[in-house]
């Protein structure tokens, strides 16, 4: 018996605080148009001192567990590029916070911003083997650059949680996938650095090259034609990149690239990213959440998803929303997740940005700042301590 496989439910979380780009522009004397129009960003999520990839991940996944239970989850795949440990998967902490069954495998995946798509494909493979199982896929990241660096305005933080199942209520994911890998140094973070190194222009070029490469492979594998797609979700390091990417894809296919055509195809996907900022692995799926929440009806309409991770690995694939998908969205909660953030000024942001946890293993208590359900309480003897509020 053949099953449809895909995303049964999708939920996201972001941080306690938000910094408007107007505050950043006031601080560094940049014309606000460079942020609002140039990169397409209005504000960015800033983690509280007691928030990290684990607290965001648990917050994102909790509504899925509340809605569907955890008895069929036998695998948790956590995708991140802001990992907190070189050995222990961040998902093990989440497994504990969510009180998931002990008969579960938990693993962490890494390849820059592409990791969550690898996690999704891993999940689909497991479910193809055993359609009775559910797989919890989580993408959680904090995008952080040096203060006053070119990347600073593209920071952000969020987690997306997806329950991947057979006969999904939200979206069916289709074969084939278009794949592309190239060894480029456009963005990377050596183990000895807290912030990434980035070559901005090289990264844009590498991204567009990957759009071309994945699309070429996708069509060679027998995928949909360009005209079959109603909308496209692109990885968004900043929202303007989605516009550049779609223009490039249209050009590559000798199509018209007028602004209206591009906005129609990708406009709704940028609404959350525009106010949250870059969330690395979560970004393309945050775009998917925004599309589903902001488009009247996408039933059975193919959506193209393009996932890019610097360095670089990319994938293009198609998904279609199910006839009943509207009844499974978290639209109101998603709006609240964004509006509940507390606006901070530049000095407060800088203090949070420069805040680092001790590396000497001494006892350290983090200030209680988050009003979310989970927090990083502190560190003791090199061990992170999480608590449920």
Q: How far apart are the C-alpha atoms of 310 and 204, rounded to whole Å? A: 10
Q: How far apart are the C-alpha atoms of 290 and 246, rounded to whole Å? A: 17
| pLDDT at residue 1 tops 60 | no
| pLDDT at residue 381 tops 70 | yes
What residues act catalytically?
Answer: 81, 113, 235
- Percentage with pLDDT > 70 across the chain: 99
**Span 285-320, pLDDT tens digits:** 999 999 999 999 999 999 999 999 999 999 999 999
Give me the residue spans of the domains in the chain: 5-388
> Edge-to-edge strands of the sheet including 134-143?
105-109, 73-79, 134-143, 156-166, 5-14, 171-181, 313-321, 303-309, 231-234
| pLDDT at residue 153 tops 60 | yes
| pLDDT at residue 283 tops 90 | yes
What's phi and psi for 33, nearest 5 deg? -60, -30
| pLDDT at residue 2 tops 80 | no
Contact criterion met (CB below 8 Å) for 40 and 274:
yes
**Span 171-226, pLDDT tens digits:** 999 999 999 999 999 999 999 998 889 898 899 999 999 999 999 999 999 999 99
pLDDT at 3: 83
Instruction: Specify the 3-state DSSP secondary structure of 359.
Output: coil
Q: How far apart are the C-alpha atoms of 356 and 87, rounded to whole Å? A: 20
Give the pTM: 0.97
Tell me which architecture the domain covering 5-388 has in CATH.
3-Layer(aba) Sandwich (3.40)
Contact criterion met (CB below 8 Å) for 90 and 79:
no
**Span 222-234, pLDDT tens digits:** 999 999 999 999 9
| pLDDT at residue 365 tops 90 | yes
**Span 30-59, pLDDT tens digits:** 999 999 999 999 999 999 999 999 999 999
pLDDT at 200: 84
Mean pLDDT of 54-71: 98
């Amino acid at each position: 018996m053949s099953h449809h496989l895909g995303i049964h439910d999708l939920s996201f979380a972001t941080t306690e605080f938000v910094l408007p780009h107007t505050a950043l522009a006031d601080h560094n004397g940049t014309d606000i148009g460079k942020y609002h129009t140039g990169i397409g960003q209005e504000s960015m999520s800033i983690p509280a001192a007691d928030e990290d990839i684990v607290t965001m991940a648990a917050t994102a996944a909790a509504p899925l567990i509340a809605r569907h239970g955890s008895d069929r989850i036998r695998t948790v795949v956590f995708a991140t590029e802001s990992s907190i440990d070189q050995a222990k998967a961040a998902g093990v902490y989440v497994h504990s916070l969510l009180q998931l069954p002990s008969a579960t495998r938990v693993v962490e995946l890494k390849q820059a911003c592409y990791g969550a798509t690898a996690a999704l494909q891993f999940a689909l493979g497991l479910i193809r083997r055993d359609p009775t199982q559910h797989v919890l896929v989580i993408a959680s990241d904090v995008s952080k650059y040096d203060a006053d660096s070119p990347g600073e305005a593209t920071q952000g933080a969020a987690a997306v949680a997806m329950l991947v199942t057979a006969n999904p209520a939200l979206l069916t994911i289709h074969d084939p996938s278009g794949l592309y890998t190239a060894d480029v140094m456009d963005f990377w973070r050596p183990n000895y650095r807290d912030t990434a190194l980035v070559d901005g222009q090289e990264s844009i070029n590498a991204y567009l090259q990957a759009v071309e490469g994945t699309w070429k492979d996708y069509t060679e594998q027998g995928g949909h034609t360009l005209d079959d797609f109603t909308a496209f979700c692109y990885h968004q390091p900043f929202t303007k990149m989605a516009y550049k990417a779609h223009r490039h894809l249209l050009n590559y296919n000798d199509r018209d690239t007028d602004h209206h055509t591009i906005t129609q195809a990708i406009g709704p996907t940028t609404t959350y990213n525009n106010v949250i900022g870059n969330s690395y692995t979560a970004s393309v799926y945050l775009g998917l959440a925004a599309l589903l929440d902001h488009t009247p009806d996408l039933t059975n309409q193919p959506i193209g998803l393009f996932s890019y991770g610097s360095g670089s690995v990319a994938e293009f694939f198609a998904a279609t929303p199910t006839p009943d998908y509207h009844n499974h969205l978290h639209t109101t909660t998603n709006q609240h997740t964004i509006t509940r953030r507390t606006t901070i000024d530049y000095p407060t942001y800088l203090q949070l940005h420069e805040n680092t946890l001790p590396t000497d293993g001494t006892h350290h208590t983090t200030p209680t700042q988050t009003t979310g359900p989970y927090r990083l309480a502190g560190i003791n003897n090199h061990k992170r301590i999480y608590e449920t509020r």
